[in-house]
Amino acid sequence: MTQSTESRQEILDGLRDATPVMLAVCFFGMLFGTTAVNNGLTLGQAMLSSTLVFAGASQLVFLELYSLKVPVWSMLLAVFAINFRHVLYSASIGRYMGRFSIFQRYSAFFLLCDPLFGAGELRASKRPLTPAYYFGYGLLLYGIWLLFTLVGGLFGALITDPKALGLDMLLSLYFLTLLMGFRSRPNWLVSVLASGVVSVLVYRYVGSPWHIMSGGLAGILLAAFIGKPDAEKPDDDPELELARE
């Protein structure tokens, strides 16, 4: 297989793997566009936000705080707390970017979102992660996000009660689907339980959005403390047999 043919196949694989999450991104983008315009942003400002930030959860939290007229520093802290997970995502997936140039690596971090992180980790567990696959997946979602932010901003006023349509549940379902994709990993359940317990306690006694960062850190610290189970060497390992002799 020639290099161009291989790259084309990698792009197609990325587009194929992104297809199942496109529906969620469509609704999520429309929800943001609708909420942005209904909270006083112009359509241009909403589009600029999606173009430069590309982080739906933190963009929605910003809108909620903006509508409450809270101080700017509070908005910045809230966005930082929610987006802190991207620091962890970058540290994890950056280990697999050996085939990326410096420019490709930093461009890739801009596109890094929750579903792309999950897909990239899964891809890297089976074969080398390539720029063609990564950008095929990421640019498709980025384009869909921008398009449906525009659709939501233009026609969102027609949706008078998003909760009546269940749109307020999209974010929760989105993250739950991503979480379940890692259920075969070692120590998954105990890490999830630790994150959940800490997140609930912080939400109860400190408040939002600090429960997001605290829960994530708790799960990571527990997983690091437990460590990855050591793979047992098979009895017929030639090196082991040599040592026995």
Tens of pLDDT, residues 193-233: 988 899 899 888 887 667 777 887 788 788 778 866 554 44
Question: Which residue shows structure tokens 């801009």?
Answer: 110
Split into its structural domains, the chain has a count of 2
pLDDT one-digit tens code per residue, 94-104: 999 999 999 99
Distance of CA 1 to the CA centre of its chain: 32
pLDDT one-digit tens code per residue, 143-160: 999 999 999 999 876 766
132 in the same domain as 17: yes
Report yes or no on 241 lying in a domain. Answer: no
51 in the same domain as 95: yes
- Which has more confidence, 64 or 36? 36
Region 12-19: what's the mean pLDDT? 93
Q: Print the domain residue range for 198.
A: 184-229
Share of the chain above pLDDT 90, in %: 31
pTM passes above 0.85: no
Q: Rounded CA gap, 152 and 43, in Å?
A: 9
pLDDT attached to residue 137: 95
Q: Residue 175, exposed/middle/buried by CB under 10 A (0-12, 13-18, 19+)?
A: middle
**Nearest-5° angle of CA 88, CA 198, CA 80?**
40
60 in the same domain as 9: yes
Contact of 18 with 144, CB cutoff 8 Å:
no
Report yes or no on 87 lying in a domain. Answer: yes
Residue 238 has pLDDT above 50, yes or no: no
Helix or strand or coil: residue 119? helix
Chosen domain end from 127, 154, 182: 182
pLDDT attached to residue 53: 86
Across 9-13, 51-55, 74-78, 195-199, least confident range: 74-78
